[in-house]
Amino acid sequence: MLHITIHAARRMLRAGDIGARELTAAILERIDAVDGQVRAYLTLTPELALAAADRADAALVAARAAGTTDDLPPLLGIPLAIKDTITTEGIRTTCGSRILENYIPPYQSTAMARLQQAGALILGKTNTDEFAMGSSTESSAYFATRNPWNLAHVPGGSSGGSAAAVAAGECLAALGSDTGGSVRQPAGFCGVVGLKPTYGRVSRYGLVAYASSLDQIGPLARDVTDAAELLGVLAGHDPLDSTSVPAAVPAYAQMLDRPVRGLRVGVPREYFAPGMQPEVEAAVRAAIQVLADLGAEVREIGLPHTDLALPVYYLIAAAEASANLARFDGIRYGLSAAAESLWETYRETRGQGFGPEVKRRIMLGAYALSAGYYDAYYLKAQQVRTLIRADFDAALAEVDVIACPTGPTTAFRIGEKMADPLSMYLTDILTLSANLAGLPAISLPCGFDGAGLPIGLQLMAGAFQEPLLLAAAFAYEQAAGWHTRHPTL
């Protein structure tokens, strides 16, 4: 049961082949056995999970007796994990930061509420780079998470705890958040499926804000079907989020069998640049050939402003972070450092509570927004962002989906890039643009390098074209079969 999918577990639960408590207890035993090595979780809630499992079992028994199992909530009895940037009422939410070390939210995020309405039970909160600012889950204030495929390597970030938990069999699926690739990059590093929905498709209410115009909650799962199932639960308009789009939610999981024959697949020449790990390029090009063999029409395309995505992202994201994180002042919630004056309280609280990477981005963002520099930095970055979006609009007028690597390399060693922030930032170079353009994108496994580390294939599509994106991903997944492999711990 450790590597069972959501859709397989649901069939077994409704048939009475397994119980929700049995499944949950098995996953909790797995966490006890391996999380000391992987360190995916910041907070565990076994009592809450088992109590919810008992309620699920009672509902399952009653439904089987009445012959109404088809009417049960879609995630009833399914154990999931939640990234610790997503607020959970009554459960500690730290954002991987000392400044929120003892914070227990008095309200529920919309994403969490929708999971619970669908019957899911929560195992705990997963580790993250502090305030989701990082690419390796090493900037967490508590500890670094390790890649289940090789414990000497990072799991990616910032949703590294969620990706590692899924890969290691410590949950059936998990939620992450993606601001510049933070769902897709760790999914690629850990050999699981990670989906970033269109901006506005999933409510951000209760997601602790990093960069509000870029953030989006998304699932990490064992296969494309599970990702589609979770998106169907999470998606939909939310009046509590002013950026949430009031658009109908398709039945994503029922639309996966769409044929890919005739599908136009664009391959951006800029995404295969010098310096890419040769095994990554080879695996991704082989994956694109699989799509071609299935009947897709593959053609080269151009996204000419790709080389500007990194500086644009780090100006916009840092500027928005400097504004969003101003609320952590030691006055209303979280850490409060004792001091003699208001300004000293601010200085001491933020100095003690924030880590080096968060401070770096706050200072960069404050500088970009400051008088005399706003036009040269933040405004210019927004103008170039418009050009990046225009590149995608032009390309997606000619093709249906875009195929490329998730990252330029496989997972690097723990500590390898911590002294070089720019080198760390470059690991997200192929995922940033989808956030800047607000487009849906998915990473799914497409092979392994010579050291046995997973390689990710990234697919992107037009806004709200998740059904098309998921169908293309599903077709490749079923033909290639990489999703059936799991690490040994």
- Of 142, 184, 144, 146, the C-alpha closest to 164 is 146
Pairing of strands 454-461, 121-126: unpaired
Helices (H) and strands (E) in the chain, counts: 15, 11
- From the list 135, 136, 177, 182, the catalytic residue is 182
Asked about 182 being catalytic, the answer comes back as: yes
Q: Can you name the residues that pair with 147 across neighbouring β-strands?
A: 150
End-to-end CA distance of the chain: 15
- Give alpha helix (H) positions in 175-270: 184-190, 224-234
User: Looking at this protein, which amino acid is placed at residue 50?
Assistant: L
Candidates 136, 158, 159, 162; catalytic one: 158
Six-digit token string for 48: 């809450």
Is there a catalytic annotation at residue 158?
Answer: yes
H helix or E strand, kind and range, residue 297: strand 297-301
Tell me how far apart the alpha carbons of residues 187 and 406 are, in angstroms, rounded to a whole number.
Answer: 9
The tokens of 338 are what?
């004792």
Q: Which of 83, 125, 196, 417 is catalytic?
A: 83
- Helix (H) or strand (E) segment spanning residue 177: strand 173-177
Q: DSSP strand E in 230-296: where?
A: 264-268
CB 449 within 8 A of CB 411: no
Residue matched to tokens 């609009």 = 393
Q: Do residues 156 and 138 lie in contact, with contact meaning Cβ atoms separated by under 8 Å?
A: no
In whole angstroms, what is the distance from residue 12 CA to residue 64 CA?
12
Token pair, residue 458, equals 């990234």
CA atoms of 463 and 287, how far apart (whole Å): 23
The residues that are catalytic are: 83, 158, 182
